[in-house]
Amino acid sequence: MNRQVNTSSVTKVLFLTYFRSGSSLLAESVNKNPEAFYWFEPLMATYADLNIRHPFVMLQNGSFGRLQRGLVQQLCEILVDVLNCKLRRLDDRTLGNNVLVYWQTMEALVPYKTCLIRNGAIQSIDPVVPKTTIDKCLPLAIDQCKKAKIRGVKTIRIASYMVDKLVELDPEIKIIHSVRDPRGMLLSVMKIREALRDPEEIRQWVKMYCYRMHNDKEFMPKLKNKCDVLHLRYEDLVTGFNQSLHRIYSYMKRDVPPTVLRWFATNTHAAEDTGPMGTARTNATAVAFKWRQYLPMDKKAIVKDVCSDVLRENRYLA
């Protein structure tokens, strides 16, 4: 099927980022824009159904391989469909997953969620949403998408090598690539995964994510004739959100809405911290650099050993 699309007057942006990298905060730059349609992790259900965790697979020799071409096509088609409001092409698991029904982090999809719940969706961490309910409520989501001036998707589930296929399907998609110091990522993931304590398991986790960040950084220049890429660091966002937001919106050739600036001003210095799954921080800058004080020396040494390329490429002091 030929899915290449071409629209005008709409900005379509993909946030390509990583687990525990501050990506949810970054994506609020679009989510809190009243003229935007934002979808959080639309590949989550597909990844779960296919039992995959990363856009790379670890091979027996310890190196990493890419996903099969057909799977890459499938994942990219989902992203393109969301960014072009072709939501009827999505499967029911994607349209009724726990992010949409249970968590609800997406402002433009509130009417859709409300409709799902009023029409039989069971709210739980593993929601049950009848197909008839999805069919009834989906026009609300499609309408919100079509009237938006910005359409955004945030995902930790693709890598830069997939962007070739993505922009082949839709050359208008803009890419915002965001990274975080892997030491901050590691401290963050250790807080929510109590089981991640074994040094070898930690080394493997660090190896996977630093490989991904290095590979993405290395591959991005090859895309320069196909698409525009904006690189950001999480640390720059929290220490200077005003400048970072203006970079993001300048890249999208739009003005930063005052509502977005106010939201970031409030939620990077919030009255209450909303915890590891939230985006509000009493002192976002302190959180970003907390690893310096709280990450054990042996864990810092693992990152320094495995991630020297990533630390250098992204100007993180070793």
Convert the pLDDT of each residue in 286-315 to its tens digit.
989 999 999 999 999 999 999 999 999 999
Quick one: pLDDT at residue 195?
67
Across the range 78-92, mean pLDDT stands at 98
Position 114 confidence tier, pLDDT thresholds 50, 70, 90: very high
Mean pLDDT of 35-54: 95
pLDDT, position 5 = 52
Q: Is the pLDDT assigned to residue 98 strictly greater than 50?
A: yes
pTM listed for this prediction: 0.93
Q: Output the pLDDT for position 3.
A: 56
Average pLDDT over residues 102-131: 86
CA angle 106, 26, 140 (to 5 degrees): 20
Give the chain's mean pLDDT. Answer: 92
Q: How far is CA 34 from CA 206, 305, 314, in A?
A: 37, 44, 32
Grade residue 6 by pLDDT with cuts at 50, 70 and 90: very low
Element (H, E) at 31: helix 23-31
> Are the CB atoms for 101 and 129 separated by under 8 Å?
yes
* pLDDT band for position 119 (cuts 50, 70, 90): very high
Top pLDDT among 225 and 191 is at 191
CA-to-CA distance for 203 and 305, rounded, in angstroms?
Answer: 10
> For residue 194, is pLDDT > 60?
yes
All domains in the chain, ordered by first residue: 11-313 (3.40.50)
Whether 104 shows a pLDDT value over 70: the answer reads: no
148 pLDDT above the threshold of 80: yes
pLDDT of 8: 57
* SS3 assignment, position 305: helix
The answer to which of 2-6, 12-16, 106-110, 233-237 has the lowest mean pLDDT is: 2-6
